[in-house]
Amino acid sequence: MTAKETLKRNASILLTFIIAFALLAFVSVMKPGYANTANLKMISISIAMLGFTAIGQTFPILTGGMDLSVPWVFCIGAYLCAMLTGGEPAKMIYAVPVVLLAGLVMGALNGFGIAYVGIAPVIMTMASNIIFQGLLVGFTNGTPGGKIPDGMKNLATGGVGAVGWMFLIWVVMSVLTWVILSKTSYGRKIYAIGNSMTCSLYSGINVKLVKMSTYMICGMMAALGGLLYSGRVTQLYLGMGSNYQMESVSAVAIGGISLMGGSGSYIGTMAGCFVIVILDGLLTAMSFSQGVQKVIYGIVLFLAVLLSSRRTGRTE
C-alpha cells in the first residue's frame, strides 16, 4: 500500500479528527477563555473516560455485535473499588485485579449467552444490563457507599499541563488496542467474524470462543472505566455509567466502524470519542437549553455517522 492509498483510506478518520478540532476551535472563539489549561485537561479526561468504554465497545461491534450492558458494569466496577479499598490506597493492589476480573466475568456471561446460546446481542446485553443493575441496587439497598482512596482522586483529576493522566493511560491502551486489532491474528479473526461468520467457521476459527472473548474484553474495559471514574466523583451514585451506553456505541459508529461488523479502524473510534466529548462541552458552554442540546446532538450524530459510513462504503 502506497502512502497515497493509506491517506485515502484513512481520509475519513482524519476528517473526523478535523471536525473535532474545528468544534473545539469554534467554541474557544465564541467563548474566549474556554480553552484554558484547566478546561482542556477536563476535556482530555472526559475523552479518556468515554475512550475506555469505547475501546471495549469496539471489539463486539467489529464482530457484528454490540454491548449495551456497559453502564451497570461500569457502575459495579466503581462500586467494587470503593467497597474493597474502603479508602485505603494499599488495598488497591488486590482491588484492581478483582474489579477487572468482575468485568471479565460479567462480559463472559454476555458472551456465553450470545455466542453459545445464540441470543441476539442487543437483547442479551440489554437484559444483562438490568440484571447487573438489580444486583448492584439489591446488594447495596440502593445506596452505594464506600470510600475512594485519595490517590485515585489525584490520578483521575490530575495531569501534566493540559493533558490528564487518564488521557495518557488511554493513549497507551489505545496503541495496545490498535496493535491487537490490526497486527495480531486474534484481531484478524475478529474482523473475519464480522465479515462472514460462515467463512470464519470454515476457515477453522473458533467463532464462538472469539466472539465470547470480545464481550469479556468489553466488560473488563467497562469495569476499568468505572474504577477510574470513581476517582472523579466525590460520592458514588447509581447511574454513573448511563451516558456511556449509547455514547460508546456512537463513538464507534462515528469513527466509521460499521455496526454490521468487519470493517473500520480503531483509530476512528478515538476520533469519535473526541467529537462526542468536544460537542458535549460545546453545547454546555454555549448555554443552550437542554432541548436544543439534544436536537443538535442528534443532528451531528446523524451527519457524522453518515459521513464516515459513506467513505467506508467507497473504499470497499
Partner 1 sequence: MENKRTFKQKLSDNWLAIVPYAMLIIIVAVMGILNTNTLKASYIANKCDNSFSLVLAAVGQTFVLLTGGFDLSVGGVICITNCLAAVHMQDSAGSILLWSVICIIIGIAIGMFNGFVIEKTKLQPFIATLATQSVCMGLALLILKVDGGKVPRSYMKALTKRFGDLPLSAILLVIMILLWLYFKNTKTGMNIYAIGSNKKSARLNGIPVLRTMVTAYALSGCFAALAGLYRTAVVASGSPTAGGDFVMSSISAAVIGGTALAGGSGGIIGSIIGAFILRYITDLLVFMKVSSYWSSLVQGVLLILAVALSAYGNTLKKRKEGVG
Give the shortest CB-132-to-partner 1 separation in angstroms: 8
Query: Does 179 participate in binding partner 1 (rule CB under 8 A)?
Result: no
Query: Residue with C-alpha cell 443493575?
Result: 133
Among 96, 98, 131, 155, binds partner 1 (CB under 8 A): 131
Segment interacting with partner 1 (CB under 8 A) among 80-88, 157-165, 221-229, 252-260 = 252-260
**Between 140 and 159, how does the x/- string for binding to partner 1 read (CB under 8 A)?**
-xx-----------------
Residue 251: exposed, middle, or buried by beta-carbon count in 10 A (0-12, 13-18, 19+)? buried
Show the cell assigned to 191: 474482523
Among 126, 163, 169, 201, binds partner 1 (CB under 8 A): 126
Give the shortest CB-294-to-partner 1 separation in angstroms: 3
Nearer to partner 1, 200 or 247 (CB): 247
Nearer to partner 1, 103 or 159 (CB): 103
- The sign of the dihedral angle between the CA atoms of 187, 189, 192, 197 is negative
Query: Does 98 participate in binding partner 1 (rule CB under 8 A)?
Result: no
Query: Does 284 participate in binding partner 1 (rule CB under 8 A)?
Result: no
Among 25, 30, 101, 122, binds partner 1 (CB under 8 A): 122
DSSP string, 2-28: -HHHHHHHTHHHHHHHHHHHHHHHHHH
How far from 123 is each of 98, 130, 221, CA to CA, in Å? 27, 11, 20
Among 7, 14, 120, 179, binds partner 1 (CB under 8 A): 120
Among 154, 298, 314, 315, binds partner 1 (CB under 8 A): 298
* 3-class SS string, 176-238: HHHHHHHHCHHHHHHHHHHHCHHHHHHCCCCHHHHHHHHHHHHHHHHHHHHHHHHCCCCCCCC
Query: Does 296 participate in binding partner 1 (rule CB under 8 A)?
Result: yes
Give the shortest CB-245-to-partner 1 separation in angstroms: 10
Query: Does 286 participate in binding partner 1 (rule CB under 8 A)?
Result: no
SS3 of residue 87 by DSSP: coil
* Beta strand segments in the chain, E: 159-160, 163-164
Among 55, 100, 124, 276, binds partner 1 (CB under 8 A): 124
What is the residue type of 83?
Answer: M
Query: Does 237 participate in binding partner 1 (rule CB under 8 A)?
Result: no
**What part of residues 48-77 is at the interface with partner 1 (CB under 8 A)?**
66
DSSP structural state of residue 249:
H
Could you give the CA distance from residue 251 to residue 254 in angstroms, rounded to a whole number?
Answer: 5
- Binding stretches for partner 1 (CB under 8 A): 66, 113, 117-120, 122-124, 126-131, 133-135, 137-138, 141-142, 246, 249-250, 253, 258-260, 289-299, 301-302, 305-306, 309-310, 313
